[in-house]
Homo-oligomer: A and B are copies of this chain.
């Protein structure tokens, strides 16, 4: 048995995934609206075929033979990851997988209408079904201490509910009072560039940090996202709203995701190790560029200059104040960088309780509203601006939310170590010179692809496991800056 059969299959799956990404990118940026129904069929076919090729009996035979052989280096890693993915994919019966997919699609349709009608009761049965199916899904796997851990493994293999509770406990205990103290510190700090200035500033800023060459695209979509169609074909999107700096910040966020995929070691290309290792690690890269570069005081003149070239004049200090002001609010996606993780802590607590049975779906709105009061000090006026705001649970995605906050934490932890290694970056950022930063990230994080899971990778990069303290120091710095 040679490793080549397995490598060929992994390369094929990598190509099919790339094509699915391209088709999804196109759907959200380029496709004429009438093409939607057929695109759904095309994507379903691709996914079915990829699943078939990933879980065929022949793959099991190759793996058994290769595990008996004494492989080392990358080949051994490829076999290890292939075994993990193969077993996970084969564990779930086809009927259950199809049922989950159906419930997810229906859940999102029902949720959309329920959110518009501000009617949680209309959504509750679909959510209950998703919770039940998630439990059934979790029950397919062995070796997890808690059902939630089996769900987490889809997004962050190796992470556990207990570990997330530990880190989030450390975080919220200190962050909630910090937010309460700082709330409203930036009441007057609103910087509102017009759309045309933003449209010039976004590509200008991205070009300065490295997205200006022949391997990038920047487009517009309803929700900003990033895809690597290939390792040399990185595509980010943003959205432009009148008087909103989100376009620049979202573009830097998506740049971070794209750079991660782009800087994975070339020998991992078209293998099963050639992607970002987890949702948390991916989010750490987007948050790194969003929070630690984009919101760095030394970088504000770079953004201000780009907006200035677009005809919108703003003082860098005012711009920076606007980007870091603490304004505890109802909606996660528009939350400020300090209070943002508290939105996630709440969602994690609630979804864990839903899955473990400590919370009934009917009691969810009350639990949500209580949590928002406790963590963020805000009163939720209605479910549309509360428990109905996100699509994740409607889609049956339990275990996804933690990565949003863990990303913030890991980013802060990386930034501290980076500055310890390379020295303060203020001067370099003022010149938008991020060459050293990109190199450091490539070396410490990106190059490894999927070779290491989240926490082992954090340990390797920073010398410590995940922790809340660096983010809290960062948050205090942001609060102090206004």
Give A contacts to B, CB under 8 Å: 11-12, 15-16, 18-19, 22-23, 26, 30-35, 37-39, 41-42, 45-46, 49, 213-217, 229-235, 269-270
Q: Which residues of B contact A31 (CB under 8 A)?
A: 229, 233
The winner among A23, A34, A216 for most chain B CB atoms within 10 A is A34
**Would you call A42 and B217 a contact (CB within 8 A)?**
no
The 4 closest A-B pairs by CB, nearest first: A35-B233, A38-B230, A34-B215, A34-B232
Nearest-Cβ distance from residue A204 to partner chain B, whole angstroms: 18
With A and B bound together, what is the CA distance between A424 and B454 in angstroms? Answer: 72
Q: From A42, which residue of chain B is reached at the shortest CB distance?
A: B15
Nearest-Cβ distance from residue A171 to partner chain B, whole angstroms: 38
Q: Which of B33, B38, B45, B269 contacts A16 (CB 8 A)?
A: B45
Nearest-Cβ distance from residue A42 to partner chain B, whole angstroms: 5
Nearest-Cβ distance from residue A232 to partner chain B, whole angstroms: 4
Work out how many copies of this chain go into the complex. Answer: 2
With A and B bound together, what is the CA distance between A273 and B52 in angstroms? Answer: 26
Extra A-B contacts (9), CB below 8 Å, given A35-B233, A37-B232: A11-B45, A12-B49, A15-B42, A19-B23, A31-B229, A32-B215, A33-B214, A38-B233, A42-B230
Nearest-Cβ distance from residue A40 to partner chain B, whole angstroms: 10
Nearest-Cβ distance from residue A240 to partner chain B, whole angstroms: 20
With A and B bound together, what is the CA distance between A216 and B42 in angstroms? Answer: 18
Q: Which residues of B contact A42 (CB under 8 A)?
A: 15, 18-19, 22, 230
Given A19-B23, A45-B16, A34:B213 Cβ within 8 A = yes
Q: Which residues of B contact A230 (CB under 8 A)?
A: 35, 37-39, 42
Nearest-Cβ distance from residue A23 to partner chain B, whole angstroms: 6
With A and B bound together, what is the CA distance between A82 and B213 in angstroms? Answer: 46
With A and B bound together, what is the CA distance between A22 and B12 in angstroms? Answer: 18
Nearest-Cβ distance from residue A219 to partner chain B, whole angstroms: 9
Q: Which residues of B contact A214 (CB under 8 A)?
A: 32-34
Q: Which residues of B contact A35 (CB under 8 A)?
A: 215, 229-230, 232-233
Given A35-B229, A229-B35, A15:B46 Cβ within 8 A = yes
Q: Which residues of B contact A46 (CB under 8 A)?
A: 15-16, 19
**Would you call A270 and B41 a contact (CB within 8 A)?**
yes
Can you show 12 pairs from A to B with CB atoms below 8 A apart? A12-B45, A12-B49, A15-B46, A16-B45, A19-B23, A32-B235, A34-B214, A38-B269, A39-B229, A39-B233, A41-B270, A42-B230
Q: From A53, which residue of chain B is reached at the shortest CB distance?
A: B49
Q: From A50, which residue of chain B is reached at the shortest CB distance?
A: B49
Q: Which residues of B contact A26 (CB under 8 A)?
A: 22, 26
**Would you call A231 and B45 a contact (CB within 8 A)?**
no
**Would you call A45 and B15 a contact (CB within 8 A)?**
yes
With A and B bound together, what is the CA distance between A39 and B232 in angstroms? Answer: 10
Q: From A270, which residue of chain B is reached at the shortest CB distance?
A: B41
Q: From A29, which residue of chain B is reached at the shortest CB distance?
A: B30
Q: Which residues of B contact A12 (CB under 8 A)?
A: 45, 49
